[in-house]
A and B are shown apart, each in its own frame.
Chain A
Amino acid sequence: MMKPINLLLVAGAFAALLSGCGETPQANVAKPGQSAAKEGDKPYQNDQFKGNREEWAKTLRSRADNQNEYKRVN
């Protein structure tokens, strides 16, 4: 008759050996047409714009408009 501790050790070793037979999936789950990338932050969700998309868009639009030197005072 085995001692309980030995029985536990044998069971543990058996489980450890068995886990070696397992195979974890190594492929990315990439579905056609669907991005697998993490979802990034929205560029206006920060302290500066406080989630206000309109404010952010307005800032960028005015900045883009500044690229037009015809609108500058000469």
Chain B
Amino acid sequence: MARMKFICDAERCIECNGCVTACKNEHDIPWGVNRRRVVTLNDGVVGAERSISVACMHCSDAPCMAVCPVNCFYKTEDGVVLHDKDLCIGCGYCFYACPFGAPQFPSAGAFGVRGKMDKCTFCAGGPEKDGSKAENEKYGRNRLSEGKLPACAEMCSTKALLAGDGDVLSDIYRERVMRRGRGGDLWGHATAYGRPDAKAAPATPAAPVAQPAPQKS
């Protein structure tokens, strides 16, 4: 097993929000918290509009882990970045550090007080006992210990969102790109899984299709 990764194929995502709904439903996420959401780039530009499903990417060199003042983050042996809610103080540093806006903070009382951070767990629960009530209440369902992949990816109707072992995902994506002959850019992949010294070039959108000039009669 290499390590767990997410891949979102922008050529396939149809912005149906099925992944968002699957995640919310699977983990009983409270109102106002979105562990996963769909972002549309170049909205309305013909031929250049792309949608991507974004959540915690479980980065190789996770910036949230580096900035947490109480060190509540940890990484499993499969590369899944998790955190301990019993230690989290809700300071929000991780939110500012994350390039994907993954950390979410539920409203915890009056005056907009922030609760403990909540984020995608790759459906791997947390540090509580696997499958326990405490784990389910704090982190949601632990599908990984049941031998299942994250609900968002398994629910994706066009298989734009892929999750699992990085080697398997690379094989699937390579085959896709070879067959369609385009769309090899993976948004956020270099940021999340690239080497720290590698400079990630921003993905350029495909050139917009030229609008036909209006016919003069």
Contacts and interface: CB of A to CB of B under 8 A. Distances in A.
A63 B123 CA distance: 14
Report, as a range, how many residues of chain B touch the other chain: 35 or more
Given A60-B1, A63-B164, A64-B165, A37 B144 contact: no
Interface string B71-87: 11110111000111011
Given A34-B71, A35-B72, A40-B82, A64 B149 contact: yes
Interface of A: 28, 30-32, 34-46, 48-49, 53, 56-57, 59-61, 63-65, 67-70
A69 B159 contact: yes
A39 B164 contact: no
A49 B147 contact: yes
B175 interface: yes
B51 interface: no
B130 interface: yes
B130 A63 contact: no
A46 B130 contact: yes
A68 B175 contact: yes
Contacts of A56: 147
